[in-house]
Structures are given as C-alpha cells and as structure tokens.
Structure 1
Amino acid sequence: MHALVGLTEMRGMQMDVLADFMGIGHAQVYDLANQLDAANTVRRIPAVQRGPKWVIPTRAAATWVLGWRPGDWQPAPNFATHCRAVARTRVALGARATDQWVCDRTLRHQQPGPGLYPYDGMLLRPDKPAVAVKVDTSAHLTGAQLTRRLNIVVRQAQQDECAEILYVCDGRLTPDDVATVAQQTLPDIPDLALRVTSLDHLATTARPHMRSVSQPRDTSQWRATGGAH
C-alpha cells in the first residue's frame, strides 16, 4: 500500500528509486513490483531513458489513491528526467510518508490552473511551517527565464503560507547561478527563506551544503534577498 501511494503521488518511479523510497534492497523491489503487477495496480514500461524500468500505477489504481481520476500518465523522455529528480529529492529529504509530503499533482488539483504547479512538492514538518520544494532540471535557462521562475515560485509559496523555499539544482544551473539571480531580482520577503542546493549534495550528505543567497546576522536563516534581516 505504501509503495502504491508513493508511486501515485510521484506519478511513477524507476525501480532503483522505488527501492530507495521503500528502504529495501534492489532484489526485494522486483518482488514488490511483481506483487503490484499481479494485483493489476501497476504496469512496468521499458526505460524511456538510461536506467531501470519505470513502475507506473494504472489509472484505476491512481484514481483510488487520489480520490479523483487523473490522466493516463506515461513519462516522456524529458519529463522522465524531471520526475526522477523530484522522487530522488523526496527520498533525500526523508519525506517518504504522505503526512510528510504533498505532491504537486495534489497541489494542482486543489488549486486548478494552467500547466504544472510552480514547484514540485511541499515538505511538511511537525510544528513548523511547510517548505516549498522546487527541483530544476533545466538543460538551458536564461537569466530572464530564471527570474520569472523564481518570482512565480515565491508568489505561490507565499500564497501556500510556506516559510521556506528549497531550490534543488539537477540540471545545467548551479546553486551559485540561482543564488546570484535571486539576490539581484527577488523582492524583499523577510518572512520567506530561500535555500539553494544541488541534488548531488542533498542525496549524498546528511547535512547538505545549501547556498545562502544573503548574509543575515542569524546564519540559520537564509533569506531570499541580499543583506542582513
């Protein structure tokens, strides 16, 4: 059940990511996928990119999990890269349970609008405001495009009453690139912190390096604009 819910929330996962999500060995994950397949709740599709096969919930199973009827999703090559990075980010943050993470498809369903949600998930923390998590896998992004993206994410995070934005880089952009543009272009938002890191750091270190976009007096608070607050 936990696997099916997680797969539905993330639209699907590759076998190695599913193993990490479940905290089981790669041999065990094949047994799990076989059980889900035998129950007609998932389908396995060949790799759409390099790497293991994808496990995708059937539309009926996804409808049962979500409570509404989603589209019949299958990863296109470009979007598959992004979905993999988002799932890896969720695992790296330790947010495997549903009460620790709100997926973007749920956020979009609750607030309909054109296109995808401005960020990829909401990290829920006990007794603390939520964190908006944006994963950037762009192969190319101009400064103007990044500025627009950052501003849209900030506005949505404010609307969602998040206390922080975690911007995870897994494409051509580096954390320094994002921090530089944020310092130059974001408005003064004293109640919203922006943290920037790379997925590699997030996935391999217990305390990942997160690039500060300002130099506040309290170094535990990294704000979305330059200067101390």
Structure 2
Amino acid sequence: MTTTDDRIPGSVDTRRQARALGGIVPHRGMQVDTLALFLGTNRSHSYEVAAELLALGLVHPLREIGAGAKWILPTSLGVRWYLGRSGSTWRPSLLWSIRARAVVHTRIALGARDHDAWRTDHDLCIDNAHPGRYLYDGQWNTPDTFVAVKVDTAAYRLTPAKLTDTLRRLTTRVREDSCGGLLWVAHGATPADIVRTALAELPDHGQALTVAVVDYTDLTDPNTPVITPWGVA
C-alpha cells in the first residue's frame, strides 16, 4: 500500500476505497450511513474511507442535503476513475436525494451489493445512449434473470390514467432491455395495492415478464423478510 505522500490523485490504493467508489459514482452520491450499509461496516469506517477518498481528490468534502447523514459526492476525477473517461458529476436536490437514498437502500435490501449484481440507471443511460432519466432505477442481475427495479418516490398520487401509461411504457422498456422481471417498489404516494391492480388490468403485462410490487418499508425492514419471485430479500 502506498503512503499518504505517495498517493496519486485520481487513483485508489485499497480494495475498500475501490468498492466504496464503485458504489458512490454510479449512484451519483451516497450518504455516510448508507455507505456503511453498502460496505457492510459501521459508520466510523465509512467516515474513514470518505476521508481517504477526499485526500485522493476523488470525492468532495461531505455535504449536507436536507436532514439526515451527510453526502459523499464524487469529483470529476472520481467519475473518471469509474468510467475510464470524463463524465459529469451530480449535485442532488433535496427531492433527488430522497430518491437516490431509496434506490441504494433497495439495492442493499435485495442483497445486490456486488458490482456485477446491479446496473444503476446511470449505467443504463450510458449503455443505451439514453438522455435524461431512465424509466427504471436499476437492473438487478439475479442468478436466473435480469430484473428491472423501479423505486417510486413520487410525492403525489398517480392518477389511474397516468399510472397505466407509466406501467405500459415501463413494461415495454423492460422487455426491450431483455429483462425477465420487473420489481416495483412503492415508496411514494401511490400505494402498492393500487399499482398491483393497475398491472393486472394491463392485458399484456405478463407476457414473458414476471412482475412483483412490494412496499419499500417492508422490503428494507430487516425484521420483515419479503419474498419476491426471485428470492427472499
């Protein structure tokens, strides 16, 4: 391992740093407490790795965004380390930070911490040259199939017409991406039961596609195991 004086800006020199940055960059940022869960460690260790990445110029100083733990945001050097080329950094608003936290906690709850187990919406946009926000928030790579994961954090309740349109476009995109499943995580104003009803009324939603809807609170509660068609979270 290199010493502090020998470190090269834009590089990592420990596996822990690489694993942390491999989560922080594709998710555009991560809170300190979330990083601890992602790494399977405690918060003091996540502060340590954040300080190491800061010293290497790979992340910015910790930033407050609303209530809760501070955020670790990558610099352009950090983005370049992950992408292998220059890329844009992210400055999350309060609403976007709520969604970002929910997506990472969903990933952790599904046991998809490993790099090969998850493709972020950022990755999917790059892979598909897709501008703007992707239609779902991550691709969970289970042993049997790819599962598209949509984490709904909308603060307003979707109207029946809007929900039907969203589900139709979403299931179409999921099939185009060769996914065998869709997991909708309800964490907004639209209840899971309403989404299930709307899905059942789509005439073609089940064609070569396994669909499940779960409540975010249940999914992320370690004391309440949630059974999905792809295993137990």
Same fold (TM over 0.5): yes
Q: Which of residues 210, 218, 225 is equivalent to 1:207?
A: 225
Residue 148 (structure 2) pairs with residue 132 (structure 1): yes
Aligned residue number for residue 182 of structure 2:
165
Letter in 2 for 1:176: D
1:8 aligns with 2:25: yes
Q: Is the CA contact (8 Å cut-off) linking 2:171 and 2:205 kept in structure 1?
A: no
CA shift for structure 1 position 186: 4.9
Residue 78 of structure 1 corresponds to 95
Deviation, structure 1 residue 80:
0.7
Partner-residue secondary structure (3-state), 1:44: coil
Q: Residues 44 and 199 (structure 1 numbering): CA distance in 2 closer, same or farther, change over 3 Å?
A: farther
Shift of 1:28: 1.5
2:82 partner letter:
V
Q: Distance in 2 between matches of 1:68 and 1:131?
A: 28
**2:59 corresponds to which of 30, 36, 42:** 42
Q: Once superposed, what is the RMSD of the aligned Cα atoms? A: 1.7
Q: 1:146 to 1:70 in 2, by over 3 A?
A: farther
Moved more, 3-12 or 62-71: 62-71
**Alpha-carbon separation, structure 2, partners of 1:138 and 1:197:** 15
Q: Read off the aligned partner of 1:80 and give its amino acid letter.
A: S
Separation of aligned partners in 1, 2:80 and 2:90: 12
Shift of 1:209: 5.5
Query: Is it true that 1:189 corresponds to 2:206 in the alignment?
Result: yes
- Helix, strand or coil for the counterpart of 2:154? coil
1:227 — aligned with what?
none
Between the aligned partners of 1:136 and 1:23, the Cα distance in structure 2 is: 25
CA distance in 2: counterparts of 1:92 and 1:197, whole angstroms:
12
Shift of 1:11: 0.8
Structure 2 Cα separation of the partners of residues 188 and 119 of structure 1:
16
Report how far residue 60 of structure 1 moved: 1.7
Shift of the alpha carbon at 1:161? 1.1
In structure 2, do the counterparts of structure 1 residues 74 and 188 end up closer, same or farther at CA, with 3 Å as the change threshold? closer
Question: What stretches of structure 1 of length at least 5 have no aligned partner?
Answer: 211-219, 222-229
The answer to whether structure 1 residue 178 and structure 2 residue 195 are counterparts is yes
Is the 8 Å Cα contact of residues 121 and 132 (structure 1) preserved in structure 2?
yes
Which of 100, 122, 127 is the equivalent residue of 1:110?
A: 127
Distance 1:156 1:22 in 2: 31
Q: 1:67 to 1:144 in 2, by over 3 A?
A: farther
Q: Contact (CA 8 Å) 2:181, 2:209: kept in 1 or not?
A: yes
| Distance in structure 2 (CA, Å) of the matches to 1:102 and 1:16 | 21
Please point out which of 15, 21, 29 is paired with 2:46: 29
Taking the aligned partners of 2:108 and 2:151, their CA distance within structure 1 comes to 13
Instruction: Tell me which moved more, 130-139 or 167-176.
Output: 167-176
State the shift of 1:185 in Å: 3.2
Identity of aligned residues (%): 35
Confirm or deny: 8 A CA contact 1:169 1:196 kept in the other structure: yes
Q: Give the AA of the match of 1:177.
A: I
Name the count of aligned residue pairs.
211
CA distance in 1, matches of 2:176, 2:61: 37
Q: What's the TM-score, normalizing by structure 1?
A: 0.86
Cα distance between partner residues in 2 of 1:158 and 1:123: 14
Q: Distance in 2 between matches of 1:139 and 1:21?
A: 26
